């Protein structure tokens, strides 16, 4: 899971950080046998001498233009939406440290939680034809961006002979290509319509590599149906 990999990277960062010390990670909070949630990280800030609860999230969302010019952001497989995920992280995960069960668990360990922070990373993929890259509420304006293409649009653009080469990315490479991976870019003729959304790196000599999501032609219709059925 990409989220677990992301957490491991942060845990490693904290082992070498001169400022922060990780007191614990992936700590479940239970009440009467029921799990209320889990602390991703409990961190001691040596500069302020305060203890904080950090929540981690790494997400990749594809934006679909819909009614009244609004844009809805979907996970590639339509399993989650940015607005709902953000609400859950703020209203549930960050509020966990304020629950009686969490306060008791922290007191037992000698932790006085001063604050909770959300560290949310990832990339927003805009529709290929969009002219606006205005982010969703509460996202940094300098966020990482990409585009998503339907298979038909992709074929129409790249089927003519060109020097472009392509690298299909495994999910573990969505943040960055893992060290040691054998990077073999392939020509357009070796690509096939994806059964599920596929992140792809495009390399053109003399230009910066671009990352896109390649989706099946029926993906936009399925996403629109989700908007209507899951408001």
Residues 132-158 have pLDDT tens digits of: 565 555 677 788 899 999 999 999 999
Q: What is the DSSP string of 153-202?
A: HHHHHH-S--S-EEEE--GGGSSSPPTT-----B-GGG----SS-EEEEE
Residues 5-15 have pLDDT tens digits of: 999 999 999 99
Q: What is the per-residue pLDDT for 231?
A: 59
Q: What is the per-residue pLDDT for 159?
A: 86
The mean per-residue pLDDT over the stretch 101-116 comes to 95
Residues 25-84 have pLDDT tens digits of: 999 999 988 999 999 999 999 999 999 999 999 999 999 876 555 678 999 988 888 988
> Distance between CA atoms of 200 and 101, rounded to whole angstroms?
44
> Distance between CA atoms of 163 and 205, rounded to whole angstroms?
7
| Nearest Cα to Cα of residue 30 among 113, 102, 103 | 102
> Distance between CA atoms of 110 and 83, rounded to whole angstroms?
35
pTM for the structure as a whole: 0.88
146: Cα separation from own chain's centroid: 13
């Amino acid at each position: 899971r990409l989220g677990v990999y992301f957490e491991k990277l942060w845990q490693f960062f904290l082992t070498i950080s001169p400022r922060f010390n990780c007191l614990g990670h992936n700590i479940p909070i239970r009440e009467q046998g029921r799990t209320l949630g889990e602390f991703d990280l409990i961190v001691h800030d040596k500069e302020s001498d305060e203890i904080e609860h950090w929540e981690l999230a790494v997400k990749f969302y594809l934006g679909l233009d819909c009614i009244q010019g609004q844009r809805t952001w979907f996970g590639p497989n339509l399993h989650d939406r940015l607005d709902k995920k953000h609400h859950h992280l703020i209203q549930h995960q960050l509020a966990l440290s304020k629950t009686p069960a969490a306060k008791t668990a922290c007191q037992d360990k000698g932790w006085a939680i001063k604050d909770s922070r959300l560290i949310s990373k990832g990339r927003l993929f805009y529709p290929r034809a969009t002219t606006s890259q205005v982010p969703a509420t509460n996202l940094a304006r300098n966020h990482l961006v990409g585009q998503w293409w339907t298979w038909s649009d992709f074929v129409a653009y790249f089927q003519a002979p060109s020097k472009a080469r392509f690298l299909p990315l495994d999910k573990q490479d969505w943040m960055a290509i893992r060290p040691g991976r054998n990077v073999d870019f392939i020509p357009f003729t070796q690509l096939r319509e994806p059964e599920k959304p596929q992140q792809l790196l495009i390399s053109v000599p003399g230009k910066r590599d671009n990352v896109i999501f390649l989706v099946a032609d029926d993906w936009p219709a399925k996403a629109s149906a989700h908007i209507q059925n899951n408001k």
